[in-house]
Structure 1
Amino acid sequence: MKLDLSFIGTALLQLIAAIPTTLSITAVSILCGLFIGTIVALIRLYKVPVLHYVAASYVTFVRGTPMLIHLLLIYFGLPILVDSLSAQFGWSFRSISIPMIAFAYISFSITAGAYLSEVVRSGLLAVNKGQIEAAYAIGMTTPQALSRIVFPQAFAIVLPNLSNSTISMLHGSTLVFTVSVVDINAKSQIIASSNWKFLESYIAAAIIYWSLTILIERLTTMVEKRLQLHKEGGVT
């Protein structure tokens, strides 16, 4: 068996078409997961009655089970729920109308939410409580104190972990081939099966994932430098 270097280039060109799908899954998962994670973190920090235990159970369950299981639970469970509700309330919508990529969006957002809740919670805990007390002293409400004082500082603190979570979700998105979504990984398998050049196809996929990972790291570094300049007063 001989490595066909020229086919790696051919595979790279064909894989470019699948990049938007992979990036959309990663972006939606992180953005929705960050929203979910922030809500869950606040519920746990402020120990909201009843919801505190629900949030803790959610985080424990998701962090204690694999991403693939989450995806399969949503893939097989959501249609049953949707069809049951549709039958009960007389809706015309059926689960067959749900696009396959939606299962990935929902599943990975739930997964990211649990992990990011811990990231957000650690960032919020790292902010000096004295600043919150000072905000209260000048008449700010809790939402104002959080949005103007706590969250900006917490974001700067958790940025490296947020970057790592984004990279993890990028790599985790390779699981979507199990629900027939054609991302970079699935596309590489299609290319390989049609030419029987599996090694070359997977090398091409690895190059793209590596490049995307480097891009995320570079963007994170740029944001960190920008935040540092603001902190030091270098930018008005």
Structure 2
Amino acid sequence: MKLDPGFIWTAFIQLLSALPTTLLITVVSVFFGFIIGTIVALIRIYRVPVLHYVASAYVTFIRGTPMLMHLLLIYFGLPAILDAIAVSAGWSFRSASIPMIDFAFLSFSITAGSYLSEVVRSGILAVNRGQIEAAYAVGMTTPQALRRIVLPQALAVSLPNLSNTLIGMLHGSTLAFTVSVVEINAKAQIVATTNWKFFESYIAAALLFWGVTILIEKLTGLLEKRINVYNRGGVL
């Protein structure tokens, strides 16, 4: 097999058109996953009756099963449920009208939520309990103490793990091609079929993912430095 460096560059340029889709899937899933994860973490920390067991089961099941399985369960199961509800209610809605990428958004958000719940929970537990008690002493409610004191510090502590989750979801976005979403991995296959140069096409895809990963690491490093300056009493 002879490597074609020229086609690697050609494929790289063509793959850039799929980059926005990959980034959109990653950002949306991490954003909503963070919201889900924060809610689940708080439910588990404060042991909310009944919901505590549901939250624990959710985290255990999602973390114990593959990401691809979550996507396939959503892709095949959700339309059947929605169509059954629509038929019984007499609605004209059908699941076929749902864009394929929405299944990826939902599935990956659920997946990210389980992992981020552990990240957020460990960050909250890392904050000194005395600070919460001090907040109560000055008249703050629990929501106020969480919003003003606990969560900002927990976010700072959790930043490296949040970065790892973001990178993991970026790489996991390649699974979206199984539901016909054209992200970087799917685009690499399409580009390669023009002349069957799959090796070069996948090298280009790997370089693109590597570049985005390095960018995330650099941005996280800069954010950590700013947070450390703030924690030392510096000026942002």
Tell me if 1:186 matches 2:186.
yes
Local SS of the residue matching 1:195: coil
Matches within 5 A, 1:66-81: 66-81=66-81
Matches within 5 A, 1:21-36: 21-36=21-36
Matches within 5 A, 1:97-112: 97-112=97-112
Name whichever of 187-196 and 11-20 sits farther off.
Answer: 187-196
The superposition leaves residues 24-46 of structure 1 with CA deviations (integer Å, 9 ceiling, x where unpaired) of 00000100000000000000000
- Distance in 1 between residues matched to 2:56 and 2:145, nearest whole Å: 24
Structure 1 residue 232: deviation in Å?
1.4
- The letter of the residue matching 1:133 is E
Give structure 1 stretches of 5+ with no counterpart. none
- Distance in 1 between residues matched to 2:88 and 2:124, nearest whole Å: 43
- Distance in 1 between residues matched to 2:114 and 2:234, nearest whole Å: 36
Note the aligned Cα RMSD (angstroms): 0.7
Structure 1 residue 69: deviation in Å?
0.2
- Distance in 2 between residues matched to 1:78 and 1:99, nearest whole Å: 13
Tell me if 1:177 matches 2:182.
no
- The letter of the residue matching 1:55 is A
- Distance in 1 between residues matched to 2:194 and 2:84, nearest whole Å: 40
The superposition leaves residues 118-141 of structure 1 with CA deviations (integer Å, 9 ceiling, x where unpaired) of 000000000000000000110001
Tell me if 1:158 matches 2:164.
no
Local SS of the residue matching 2:193: helix
Identity %: 71
Give structure 2 stretches of 5+ with no counterpart. none
Matches within 5 A, 1:215-234: 215-234=215-234
- The letter of the residue matching 1:44 is R
| Paired position in structure 2 for 1:92 | 92
Local SS of the residue matching 2:182: coil
Structure 1 residue 92: deviation in Å?
2.2
- Distance in 1 between residues matched to 2:124 and 2:93, nearest whole Å: 41
Name whichever of 103-112 and 80-89 sits farther off.
Answer: 80-89
- Distance in 1 between residues matched to 2:187 and 2:175, nearest whole Å: 12
- Distance in 2 between residues matched to 1:54 and 1:120, nearest whole Å: 18
Structure 1 residue 178: deviation in Å?
0.5
Structure 1 residue 143: deviation in Å?
0.5
The superposition leaves residues 117-166 of structure 1 with CA deviations (integer Å, 9 ceiling, x where unpaired) of 00000000000000000001100011100000000000000000000000
Local SS of the residue matching 2:43: helix
- The letter of the residue matching 1:159 is L
Structure 1 residue 90: deviation in Å?
2.3
- Aligned residue pairs, count: 236
Structure 1 residue 22: deviation in Å?
0.3
The superposition leaves residues 2-61 of structure 1 with CA deviations (integer Å, 9 ceiling, x where unpaired) of 100000010011000000000000000100000000000000000001100000000000
Q: Which structure 1 residue ranges, 4+ long, deviate > 3 Å from structure 2?
A: none
With normalisation by structure 2, the TM-score equals 0.99
Structure 1 residue 88: deviation in Å?
2.1
Structure 1 residue 218: deviation in Å?
0.5
Local SS of the residue matching 1:196: coil
Tell me if 1:132 matches 2:137.
no
Structure 1 residue 89: deviation in Å?
2.0
- Distance in 1 between residues matched to 2:107 and 2:195, nearest whole Å: 32
Local SS of the residue matching 1:223: helix
Name whichever of 83-92 and 113-122 sits farther off.
Answer: 83-92
- The letter of the residue matching 1:175 is L
With normalisation by structure 1, the TM-score equals 0.99
Tell me if 1:53 matches 2:48.
no
- Distance in 2 between residues matched to 1:126 and 1:233, nearest whole Å: 20
Matches within 5 A, 1:199-218: 199-218=199-218
